Amino acid sequence: MVGAVPAACGTHARAYIHGETGYPAVLKKSDIDPQTYRDAMARFAGAVHVLTTDGPAGRRGTTIIATCSVSDHPPTILACINRENVSNAVFWDNGVFALNTLGGQHQDLANAFSGLTGLTQDERFAKGEWTRLSTGAPVLVDSMMSLDCEIIETTDMATHRVLYGKVTGVRIGDSLDPLTYFNRAYRVL
């Protein structure tokens, strides 16, 4: 049975096909090209974080903005990282991560962990002062906030892997001007 999405859903609503249960079974794919999508996402302002891990698989850190709270009971967050970068496998292999929220003074650190500078992991970590909470993942001493997490689930979506982390430790730093990323540049609020 073919149905139409109600007009209230917008002029770009797509028709869908019902499966035997009456629930949508197949959605029409988008015709949006990747560059147009990236250009649109450049208008999406986000807080800048360094996601870190350490354990039997090794130590790694990377700059991200794709993260959010999932629940406060139990405290759970998610972080998205590129799974096509084979170096990122260390995160799920270790089973832990720390999310370190950066302030305005951390722009050089964000650049170092972005991968665009060519620095090794050791050189990246040398640009900050680190401690550890419960999982052993590196926690930035002067971060605005750090969440120490055990990975409880992962989901693959296109080029990325979503890491769901149960928060096992929290470090709250000074209330600083946050570092954000907007229109392909760092900005400080």
**Residue-by-residue pLDDT tens, the chain, 189 positions:** 334 433 344 433 333 334 445 555 455 566 888 889 888 888 888 999 999 999 999 999 999 999 999 999 999 999 999 999 999 999 999 999 999 999 999 999 999 999 999 999 999 999 999 999 999 999 999 999 999 999 999 999 999 999 999 999 999 998 889 999 999 899 998
CA distances from 97 to 17, 94, 133, 142, 174 (A): 40, 8, 11, 17, 21
The whole-model pTM stands at 0.82
CA neighbor of 103 nearest in space, from 28, 178, 31: 178
pLDDT given at position 159: 93
pLDDT given at position 28: 56
CA distances from 111 to 45, 48, 67 (A): 17, 11, 18
Q: What is the C-alpha to C-alpha distance for residues 184 and 187, in angstroms, rounded to an integer?
A: 10
- What the block records as the tokens of 166 is 């149960």
Q: What is the full DSSP assignment across 69-133?
A: EEEETTEEEEEEEETTSGGGHHHHHHTEEEEEE-BGGGHHHHHHHTTSS---HHHHHTTS-EEE-
- What the block records as the tokens of 179 is 């570092």
Query: For the chain, which domains are there?
Result: 1-29 (no CATH), 48-188 (2.30.110.10)
Q: Are 58 and 90 in contact (CB under 8 A)?
A: yes
